[in-house]
Amino acid sequence: MKQIVRTMLEDILSVFTDKFPGEFIGWDRFIEFIATEARGSLFYKVNHKFEWLHADREFSERVLRLHDSELLSSDYYDHLGDLYTEYCRENLRSDFRTPRIAPYSVVEDIARTFIKETDAVKSVFVPYASTGRLMMVAQRIAPNALLFGSESDLRLYRIAYTNLCIHNIHAALINADHETYELDISTEAGRKNWKYANSWYDQRKNLLPKPAPLHVH
């Protein structure tokens, strides 16, 4: 972990939260900026054209002066997940609402327990993607794996997707609860649901549920 990267992100987030006070407004615009800077095509998926960035020249100059995309991508670490946890602790009235994100040591133990180191092409599904750190570790263990992940919390999902964009990790990530929606790629419903992967917004109104279990009396 590079402290210089963490400091850069802290400084940028501070500029956003000063500009946009209020619960999550500054964070949401911060993560949209980081994501679109990492992958330009996302510019067309957000519901604005960053008017608020360009309308205030002093603000935009401060943000762009601080941001360094090459420096950010050079550090293969989930800084955004750590930063989000601290942001929630500082801004939410109840600690109950602060996400519980597993530390790297736990994530690495889980990954190495269930994923074998290999260069082979294999499918790896991460049912609780959180901020994406397990998918990042999985990509290191099995670099040619076909990565799939689901996360039900939209803000955690966006952090995970942003991490994928920053580090150019090819994966399909869907904002859904794998226990509620059909995500088995071998089924027709599952394949239909996965077409909504890597979307910036919640697509759950379009997702097909898992079939109800059969009860034998």
Kindly indicate the confidence band of residue 99, based on its pLDDT and cuts at 50, 70 and 90: confident
pLDDT tens figures, 158-216: 999 999 999 999 999 999 999 999 999 999 999 999 999 999 999 999 999 998 776 65
Strand intervals (E) in the chain: 123-126, 146-150, 171-174
Q: Is residue 114's pLDDT more than 60?
A: yes
Q: Domain containing 161 — which CATH number?
A: 3.40.50.150
| Backbone angles phi and psi of 180, in degrees to 5 | -105, -40
Tokens 């210089």 correspond to: 4
Rounded Cα distance between 134 and 160, Å, is 10
pLDDT tens figures, 11-63: 999 999 999 998 899 999 999 999 999 999 999 988 888 998 989 999 999 99
145 lies in the same domain as 78: no
For residue 70, give its domain range: 3-97
Instruction: Look at residue 216 in the predicted model and tell me its pLDDT.
Output: 56
93 lies in the same domain as 125: no
How many domains is the chain built from? 2
Instruction: Look at residue 214 in the predicted model and tell me its pLDDT.
Output: 62
Q: Is residue 217's pLDDT more than 90?
A: no
DSSP bridge partners of 181: 209
How far are the Cα atoms of 33, 37, 162, 199 from residue 46, in angstroms, in the given order? 10, 13, 13, 10
